[in-house]
Amino acid sequence: MLTNIQSIIRASWIAVSGNIFLSVLKIIAGVISGSLAVLADGIDSASDIVTSLITLFTARVMRRPPSPEYPYGYLKADTIATKALAFIIFFAGAQLAITTVHGFIEGKVREMPEMLAIYVTLVSVAGKILLSVHQFRKGKQTNSEMLKANARNMQNDVLISLAVLVGLFFTFILKMPVLDSVTALIVSVWIIKVGIQIFMQTNRDLMDGVSDKGLYQKVFKAIEKVEGAYNPHRLRIRKIGNYFMIALDIEVDSTITIQEAHKIACNTEKAIRNDMDNIFDIMIHIEPAGSCEEEEKYGVKESDLTN
């Protein structure tokens, strides 16, 4: 668990350093070339430094040990930070859409920037691609939605920069400036869509929902291997940060001793941990075989997955 958090911290530091370099590079190039667009892009990239600092700060919060106030620890800070990044992505897309519409209505005439500005934009695109790939890969390795969201944010920056270059092509080569606005609007809608998708994902995590129902099948199949464990039911899986908390009921022979029942529960937990990754904790409630509690409302039984 601590290894994953350290990986998130390292990935966040790389993102902070990379964004600082690209931001400073674009600001300097904007000043030298006299391109206000590149200068504004450099200032906008400074906001990516803030998003990467958010992931860094959040990773350090996640590393804190459990406390009486937070007995499950601080891992859900990952989900909260992901929601904050979703808002940042959404408003970035909305801002691009508003700016594009205003520019189209007012009929602003674009100026062709110097070649230095174009070269720096290409370097920025390449740098952002490398950073986003690294963030997404580390996000998958650590199962961190926060890092994945930061990667999507950087991918959106790549789209915006490419939209600028495509807009220059439409405006000065094809003499069709209207396509510049169309391209920017398409990119803005895409960015808004990404923000909404990430926001909805965090809603599911905060409400203890499960996006992958195959996780239930993994648990049930693991229990099939355990001798003496019958009728697994009332299975509940929820995410705590990038880990899974599992709770379920199993039935055992009512004539065995408490010690034997405890051993079956331990074997059940081991079987689940062997078949699944990123387990936070497993809680198993033991019941005598054949017992039926009509008031049980929560959780999943294996037959629910076939209906």
Token pair for 178:
């209207």
Low-confidence residues of the chain: pLDDT under 50: none
Closest to 165 measured CA to CA, from 131, 108, 126: 126
Q: Where are the domains of the chain?
A: 2-206, 214-305
Query: Cα 106 from chain centroid?
Result: 38
* pLDDT value, residue 120: 81
Q: Residues 217-235: pLDDT tens digits?
A: 999 999 999 999 999 999 9
Residue 173 amino acid letter? I
Cα dihedral 259/264/266/269 (nearest 10): -160
3-state DSSP helix/strand/coil percent for the chain, to nearest 5?
A: 70, 10, 20
Closest to 36 measured CA to CA, from 128, 97, 111: 111
Q: Residues 35-68: pLDDT tens digits?
A: 666 666 677 777 788 888 999 999 999 989 999 9
How far apart (Å, rounded) are the C-alpha atoms in residues 27 and 37?
10
User: In CATH, which of 3.90.480.20, 3.30.413.10, 1.10.630.10, 3.30.70.1350 is domain 214-305?
Assistant: 3.30.70.1350
How far apart (Å, rounded) are the C-alpha atoms in residues 146 and 126?
22
Task: Supply the pTM of this predicted model.
Answer: 0.79
Angle between helices 145-168 and 115-142 (to 10 degrees): 160
Token pair for 268:
């059940």
* pLDDT value, residue 5: 86
Same fold, 2-206 and 214-305: no
What superfamily in CATH does domain 2-206 come from?
Cation efflux protein transmembrane domain (1.20.1510.10)
* pLDDT value, residue 220: 95
Closest to 85 measured CA to CA, from 46, 62, 53, 131: 53
Cβ within 8 Å of residue 146, ≥6 positions away:
8, 55, 58, 78, 79, 81, 82, 85, 139
How far apart (Å, rounded) are the C-alpha atoms in residues 80 and 200?
12
Q: How far apart are the first and last CA of the chain?
A: 36
In the chain, the DSSP E strands lie at 230-240, 243-252, 279-288
